[in-house]
Amino acid sequence: MPMDESVRKAVLAAVPSLRAFAISLCGNVDRADDLVQETLLRALANIESFQPGTNMSAWLFTILRNHFRSEYRKRRREVEDGEGRYAETLKSQPEQPGRVEFREFREALAQLPPDQREALILVGASGFSYEEAAHICGCAVGTIKSRVNRARTRLAELLSINSADEFGPDDQTRAVLAGGERP
Amino acid sequence: MNERSKPPAQQAQMVESAATRTKKPNNKPAKLTREVQARLGQQLRAMYEQVVNQGVPERFAELINRIDAKEDKDRQP
C-alpha cells in the first residue's frame, strides 16, 4: 500500500523539528542530517508499526534518539571522552551565518551531560510534555524532571546568570531576543 | 530589574544558588528563579527555531516522495 497521504504529511511536518533535535544531539549539522536521513529510512521501512492517531513526532524522535544512542555508544568505546569530543566537534565547525549569536549558549549546552541535554531540548524546545519526553527516552517521568532541572541549573552556572539582569554580556543575543520571532 | 525590588524569597534563592555554585554539579540542584528559567527557555527556543525555520531540506522531501513512488511501483502487477 502506498504511504497514506496523511502519514506522509505528518512525516514531512516532523522533519524540521527532528533536524533541530538532531543538531542539538550531534553538535554538527552534517552528522545531524545523516542521522535524520537514517531515521527517516528506518521509519519509512517500518511505517506499519506506527499506530495511527498517535504522535508521529514522538515516534520519529524515539527512533532518532535510539539510533543516535547506539551510534554514540559505539563511538564512545573508540573515544573515551565523549563529552570532550562533542565540545570539540562544535568548536571545529566553521562559523555559519546566524550561528554566531548563539555561540555562547551552544557552548554551554555542549558541556551538559547528554542525558540532561536531550531532556532539556525535548521539554524546553521541542515542546514535548514530560510524559512524552520520558517515553522517547525510555525512562521515568521523574527522571526527566530531574534531568531538566539539573540541566537548567548547570546552564545558568555556565552562563553565569544569577538573575535576569546579568543574562549574558552578549548584546547580539539580546537584540535577537528583543526582536522576537525571526523571519 | 533592581535587586532590591525582588521579594526576599527570591533573593534568598539567588544567594543560595551563588553559594552552591562551587559544589559538585551532582548535588541537588539549586532552585532557579522563574526569570532565569524564562530567559534560558527563550534562548533555547530561539536557537532551536532557527533550525526549524529552515523548513524541510530538499533531500528529505525527495527521500519521502521517492519511497512513496517506489512503493507504488512495487505494488503494480
Of A35-39, A68-72, B66-70, least confident by mean pLDDT is: B66-70
Q: How confident is the model at residue A77 (pLDDT cuts 50, 70, 90)?
A: low
Contact B46 A165 (CB under 8 A): no
Contacts of B39 (CB under 8 A, 6+ apart): A161, A164, A167
Q: Which amino acid is at A40?
A: L
Q: Grid cell 522576537 — which residue?
A: A180
- Predicted local confidence at residue A118, as pLDDT: 95
Name the more confident of A8 and B24. A8
Same domain, A43 and A106: no
Same domain, A65 and A103: no
Q: How confident is the model at residue A132 (pLDDT cuts 50, 70, 90)?
A: very high
Same domain, A6 and A31: yes
| pLDDT < 50: residue spans in chain B | 1-4, 11, 13-27
Same domain, A52 and A107: no
- Predicted local confidence at residue B1, as pLDDT: 45
What are the b/e assignments for B38-55, b being 16+ CB within 10 Å?
ebbeebbbbbbbbbbeee
How many domains, in total, are found in chain B? 1
Work out the average pLDDT over A146-173.
Answer: 74
Domain assignment of residue A88, given as a range: 1-93
Work out the average pLDDT over A114-128.
Answer: 96
- Of A68, A93, A118, which residue sits at a domain end? A93
Residue B55 grid cell: 523548513
Contact A37 B60 (CB under 8 A): yes
Query: What is the reported pTM?
Result: 0.70
How many domains, in total, are found in chain A? 2
A173 to chain B, any CB pair closer than 8 A? The answer is yes
- Predicted local confidence at residue A154, as pLDDT: 94
CATH of the domain at A141: 1.10.10.10
CA–CA dist A60, A38 (Å, integer): 11
A8 to chain B, any CB pair closer than 8 A? The answer is yes
**Nearest-neighbour CA in chain B from A74: distance (Å):** 26
- Predicted local confidence at residue A90, as pLDDT: 56
Same domain, A138 and A56: no
- Of A71, A93, A115, which residue sits at a domain end? A93
- Predicted local confidence at residue A27, as pLDDT: 81
Domain assignment of residue B45, given as a range: 3-22+30-75
Query: Which chain A residues touch B44 with a CB distance below 8 Å?
Result: 105, 109, 120-121, 124-125
Q: What share of chain A is helix, strand, coil (3-state, %, to 5)?
A: 75, 0, 25
pLDDT digits (tens, 9 = 90+) for A140-150: 999 999 999 99
Same domain, A121 and A37: no
Same domain, A100 and A62: no
Helix axes A141-158, A103-110, angle to 10 degrees: 130
Q: How confident is the model at residue A115 (pLDDT cuts 50, 70, 90)?
A: very high
Query: Which chain A residues touch B49 with a CB distance below 8 Å?
Result: 20, 181-182
- Predicted local confidence at residue A85, as pLDDT: 55
B7 to chain A, any CB pair closer than 8 A? The answer is no
- Predicted local confidence at residue A162, as pLDDT: 63
Same domain, A103 and A53: no
Same domain, A169 and A115: yes
- Predicted local confidence at residue A26, as pLDDT: 85
DSSP annotation string for B12-73: HHHHHHHHGGGS-TTSPPPPPPHHHHHHHHHHHHHHHHHHHTT---HHHHHHHHHHHHHHHH
Q: How confident is the model at residue A2 (pLDDT cuts 50, 70, 90)?
A: low
CATH of the domain at A31: 1.10.1740.10
- Of A39, A71, A93, which residue sits at a domain end? A93
> For A107, phi and psi rounded to 5 degrees?
-65, -35
- Predicted local confidence at residue A53, as pLDDT: 86
Same domain, A59 and A113: no
